[in-house]
């Protein structure tokens, strides 16, 4: 077993400064589904999906591992999931119940640190660098958190422990579900060498394909390139690639919630030629937006609803209306208004919300994180 000890293990980053941070990334395992299994043990071990009704073009919000192993995944249309697994158990979302479970988990986090960056209801970064709990061992803190979540909340949570956010996030996936993995500073270089480049945050299919053409498959392959070479090929992201492929991530924990808006959009394989087809596709987007908004935690105050429309000729328009909640009727009215501006086939639809300024206030008692 590898642990961070009370005395920080120091390694020099490429900037020559000592790395002493202890970051834990905690991620509840198939959160919604786990809460449903907790409340109804008869669901344990059976393929389970949480989300909207297949008769109302619902989508899978999350599913348990039994369903994942058979091909179901988040954001999949529920009708398709049922075709894959006809015996799939479908449970409607219960956000009130999930928020309560999330609050209980976060209360456990606060027993160890107030430097918490919540990413969603079921996921957060914790900085335990200066924690005096369990003699300062980040690994033991993560282990105790996982045990308390299991005992008090009745679900499992996985944890990754590392000197920065990038590595902690990767580590939390390493032994999922219900596992933990530690990357101490003195083992970062060994760990990063064989890490596939598509594990780097921001490397999607397009960038991965470009790297493949350069015969770059692992972080060690990428380390051959100098920073100017990467910026020449990938722009500003080249600088990020240069650092992350060496295990360097200087991002601080964002302990303030500064989100001003939230949106979701979809580009369609074939252009939608009339308003009725657009209306059908709109419902799935609205459901997705509700799910994304719920992951921010306690219901955030909304000040407006927005819609983005991109036509087949790549021109686009945006329409909005003041509102205090997600309203399907308003979105359909915005769709009609936006569509009437051009009356042309549509290749992309997007829906979003603008949030009130209350989310920008600092949380009481939270300190600013020290840099490396």
Please give the Cα distance from 206 to 93 (Å, whole number). Answer: 34
Which helix or strand (DSSP H or E) is residue 368 part of? Answer: none
- The reply to whether 123 belongs to the active site is yes
Q: DSSP E strands: which ranges in 85-122?
A: 89-91, 116-120
* Order of strands, sheet of 116-120, starting from the edge strand that comes earlier in the sequence: 116-120, 123-127, 23-28, 157-162, 180-182
Phi, psi of 293 (to 5 degrees): -65, -40
Is the distance from CB of 85 to CB of 47 less than 8 angstroms? yes
H or E, element range at 33:
helix 31-39
> How big is the chain by its Cα radius of gyration, in Å?
22
List Cβ neighbours of 164 (8 Å cut-off, separation of 6 or more): 19, 21, 23, 247, 248, 249, 250, 251
| Bridge partners of residue 70, in order along the sequence | none
Kindly give the interhelix angle for 205-213 and 227-234, rounded to the nearest 10 degrees. Answer: 130
Beta bridge partners of 116: 126
Q: What CA–CA distance (Å, rounded) separates 261 from 149?
A: 31
**Active-site residue, selected from the candidate residues 37, 117, 123, 180:** 123
Annotated active-site positions, please?
123
């Amino acid at each position: 077993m590898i642990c961070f000890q009370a005395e920080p293990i120091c390694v020099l980053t490429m900037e020559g400064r000592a790395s002493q941070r202890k970051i834990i990334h905690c991620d509840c395992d198939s959160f919604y589904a786990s809460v449903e299994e907790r409340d109804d043990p008869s669901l344990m071990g059976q393929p389970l999906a949480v989300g909207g009704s297949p008769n109302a073009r619902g989508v899978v919000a999350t599913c348990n591992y039994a369903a994942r192993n058979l091909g179901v995944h988040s954001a999949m249309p529920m009708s398709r999931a049922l075709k894959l697994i006809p015996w799939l158990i479908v449970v409607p979302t219960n956000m009130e119940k999930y928020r309560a479970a999330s609050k209980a988990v976060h209360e456990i986090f606060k027993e160890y640190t107030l430097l918490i960056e919540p990413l969603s209801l079921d996921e957060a970064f914790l900085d335990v660098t200066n924690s005096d709990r369990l003699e300062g061992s980040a690994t033991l803190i993560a282990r105790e958190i996982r045990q308390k979540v299991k005992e008090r909340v009745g679900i499992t949570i996985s944890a990754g422990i590392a000197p920065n956010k990038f590595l902690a996030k990767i580590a939390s996936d390493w032994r999922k579900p219900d596992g933990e993995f530690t990357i101490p500073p003195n083992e970062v270089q060994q760990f990063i060498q064989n890490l596939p480049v598509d594990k780097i945050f921001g490397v999607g299919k397009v960038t991965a394909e470009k790297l493949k053409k350069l015969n770059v498959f692992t972080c060690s392959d990428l380390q051959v390139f100098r920073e100017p070479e990467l910026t020449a090929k990938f722009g500003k992201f080249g600088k990020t690639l240069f650092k992350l492929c060496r295990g360097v991530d200087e991002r601080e924990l964002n302990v303030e919630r500064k989100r001003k808006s939230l949106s979701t959009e979809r580009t369609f394989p074939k252009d939608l030629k009339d308003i009725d087809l657009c209306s059908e596709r709109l419902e799935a987007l609205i459901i997705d937006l509700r799910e994304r908004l719920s992951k921010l935690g306690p219901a955030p105050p909304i000040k407006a609803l927005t819609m983005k429309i991109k036509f087949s000729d790549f021109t686009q328009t945006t329409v909005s209306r003041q509102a205090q909640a997600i309203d399907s009727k308003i979105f359909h009215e915005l769709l009609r208004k936006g569509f009437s501006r051009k009356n042309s086939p549509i290749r992309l639809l997007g829906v979003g919300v603008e949030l009130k300024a209350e989310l920008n206030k600092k949380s009481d008692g939270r300190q600013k994180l020290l840099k490396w």
